[in-house]
Structures are given as structure tokens and as C-alpha cells.
């Protein structure tokens, strides 16, 4: 027989006390959220008959997840970050907002403060030229009426040939493969970089441990992250996943969306390589962005979630 007590007045009053609702200190919003979390957790324990062993195993798992700084990896892996995008899409549709480049997840590996460049930038530090294929990336930022947006900031970052990101990978130089590019008068941005690799969750980490129990892999296709922002326009958080990758439409983080697939073109011509200042084959990638004008009274702002790396 299943015993349930969470709905009783006595237990509900207890939860309200635990969530701080019986005092006038602290944050009302945090209290509201904590009360709901505690109430829903109690219902899960009752409805699914969670045993004590299962409960403390979950607590241990969360401790290990935090110790490995993998909360930000598990959230997209469970589809929650993609859900936030779908929810915002629905809110936009309800408000009659349409058009623009699709949004998709930010992921956990952004680092603020990358070098800022006017019009064009070199992103790599040259340390992987023997293994990497040089990539020339360019595009135009326009509004939804097709007009170029001058002075937009294109903040982009991606992994190296091993699927690792600078800062988190201490072998890389500071801000390697991370730049901010201000678009020129025609809304154009250009970057020289290297073709990135996809990556997988650490096989010995708690995120992959959870995915294994769900019968799922933890692989991501090669991709490039972007923030695009400009005065009077809504901030765009998106990424382009690269065509031809085996995980393009099987991304464990659910980031691939129609309209966000980048097509690399590989060039084998020696004269073209010399003209570009490279020694051998290279790749080109063109991708334009369309940003919505900000509805009155203020532009949508990028999420201000806490980042220990904000000033890294």
C-alpha cells in the first residue's frame, strides 16, 4: 500500500516553514521557487515510491555532478536548455514576433571578455596548424527587413581539433578560438580560424553515467557558438552545427535546428591557398544572421545567470 502525506495541512505547513514563508526576511521569489521544488520532490518520492537508498544515491550523484562542474552539461543533455528555447519561441509566437535566425542553446562553455576586433579577426593562436584545417568564416548581420546592421557585436567561440575549449583546457592559450567582432558599415564580419571538432561527455563523468542509464550517447557534432547583439535589436544566442558530421541530427544536447546548419566548403587549389596566405587546403564557411528589432520598451537581454568565469 502506498502511503501519501505530502498533501496534508501539517506537511504543507512544514514545507512553508522550510521554504522561509513564515518569516519576513530573504527573497520572496526564492521562497516561492523553493516551496514548489520541495513540494514537487515530495510528490515524486511518494508517487514513484522512491526508496531511501535511491534518495541518497541521488544526493551522492548531485554532489559528484557539482564536484565535476557538470551541471551545465547535464542540463542540455536532459533537454531542459532546448525546452527554454522552445518556450521562448512559443512566447514570441503568442506576442506576434516572427523572423530572425533561430535561437538555440548557449551551453556551459562561454567565457566573457574575449578580445574585440573591428570587422575581422584571427581566432586561433597557430598552435594546431599541423593538425588543423584553416577555416575562413564570414557573413552579414541584417535585420528582419534585410538591412545590414553596422556595429553589431558577433561574439563567437568554438572547440579546437580535439574538441576542447580554451580556459577549460589549460594547454590552450588565453582566449584561443574566442573573439568578439564588430560588424563593418555593411554589417559584415570575417574570421580566420580552424575547423573545430565535435566532442563527447567525459566517459568517466557523472553526465555520461546518467546518459548510460538512459541508454543514450553523449556526443556533440562540430559546431560554432554565437552571441549577436546590437543596440535596438534583440540579443541572439545561437550556434551553427557543421554539415556532414555524423552527430549533426543526433546531438545529445538537442542544439541542431533547421536553419542552423553550416556548410563547409573545402578548397584544394594551391593558388587560392597562396592568395589566402595558407600553405595547403583550407575551408570556407559563410553564415548570415538576421536579428529582430527590439520590441518597446526594451530589448531582450541575454540571461544573467551567474558565471564564475564571467571575468576569467
Angle between helices 206-213 and 52-67 in degrees, nearest 10: 140
Encode pLDDT of 191-238 as tens digits.
999 999 999 999 999 999 999 999 999 999 999 999 999 999 999 999
Q: What is the pLDDT of residue 235?
A: 97
Dist. CA 59–CA 56, nearest whole Å: 5
Whether the CB-CB separation of 30 and 7 falls below 8 Å is answered with no
**pLDDT band of 303, cuts 50, 70, 90:** low
Encode pLDDT of 99-112 as tens digits.
999 999 999 999 99
Q: What is the pLDDT of residue 300?
A: 46
Whether the CB-CB separation of 112 and 310 falls below 8 Å is answered with yes
Q: What is the pLDDT of residue 279?
A: 86
Give the residue-averaged pLDDT of 272-292.
95
Encode pLDDT of 148-176 as tens digits.
999 999 999 999 999 999 999 999 999 99
**pLDDT band of 94, cuts 50, 70, 90:** very high
Whether the CB-CB separation of 67 and 61 falls below 8 Å is answered with no
Please give the model's pTM, rounded to 2 decimal places.
0.92
Question: Which residues lie across from 129 on neighbouring strands?
Answer: none
Give the residue-averaged pLDDT of 267-282.
93
Amino acid at each position: 500500500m502506498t502511503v501519501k502525506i505530502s498533501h496534508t495541512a501539517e506537511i504543507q505547513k512544514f514545507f512553508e516553514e522550510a521554504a522561509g514563508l513564515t518569516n519576513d526576511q530573504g527573497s520572496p521569489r526564492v521562497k516561492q521557487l523553493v516551496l514548489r521544488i520541495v513540494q514537487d520532490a515530495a510528490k515524486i518520492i511518494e508517487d514513484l515510491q522512491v526508496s531511501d537508498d535511491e534518495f541518497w544515491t541521488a544526493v551522492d550523484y548531485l554532489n559528484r555532478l557539482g564536484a565535476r562542474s557538470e551541471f551545465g552539461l547535464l542540463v542540455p543533455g536532459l533537454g531542459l536548455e532546448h525546452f527554454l528555447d522552445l518556450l521562448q519561441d512559443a512566447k514570441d509566437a503568442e506576442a506576434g514576433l516572427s523572423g530572425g535566425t533561430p535561437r538555440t542553446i548557449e551551453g556551459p562553455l562561454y567565457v566573457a571578455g574575449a578580445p574585440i576586433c573591428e570587422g575581422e579577426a584571427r581566432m586561433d593562436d597557430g598552435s594546431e596548424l599541423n593538425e588543423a584545417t584553416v577555416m575562413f568564416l564570414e557573413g552579414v548581420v541584417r535585420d528582419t527587413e534585410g538591412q545590414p546592421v553596422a556595429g553589431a557585436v558577433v561574439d563567437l567561440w568554438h572547440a579546437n581539433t580535439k574538441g576542447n575549449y580554451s580556459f577549460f583546457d589549460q594547454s590552450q592559450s588565453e582566449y584561443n578560438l574566442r573573439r568578439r567582432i564588430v560588424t563593418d558599415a555593411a554589417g559584415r564580419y570575417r574570421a580566420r580560424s580552424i575547423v573545430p571538432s565535435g566532442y563527447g561527455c567525459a566517459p568517466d563523468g557523472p553526465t555520461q553515467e546518467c546518459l548510460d542509464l538512459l541508454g543514450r550517447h553523449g556526443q556533440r557534432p562540430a559546431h560554432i557558438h554565437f552571441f549577436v547583439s546590437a543596440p535596438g535589436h534583440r540579443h541572439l544566442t545561437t550556434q551553427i552545427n557543421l554539415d556532414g558530421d555524423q552527430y549533426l541530427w543526433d546531438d545529445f544536447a538537442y542544439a541542431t535546428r533547421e536553419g542552423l546548419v553550416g556548410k563547409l566548403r573545402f578548397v584544394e587549389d594551391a593558388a587560392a591557398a597562396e592568395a589566402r596566405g595558407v600553405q595547403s587546403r583550407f575551408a570556407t564557411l559563410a553564415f548570415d544572421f538576421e536579428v529582430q528589432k527590439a520590441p518597446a520598451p526594451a530589448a531582450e537581454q541575454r540571461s544573467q545567470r551567474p558565471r564564475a568565469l564571467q571575468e576569467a
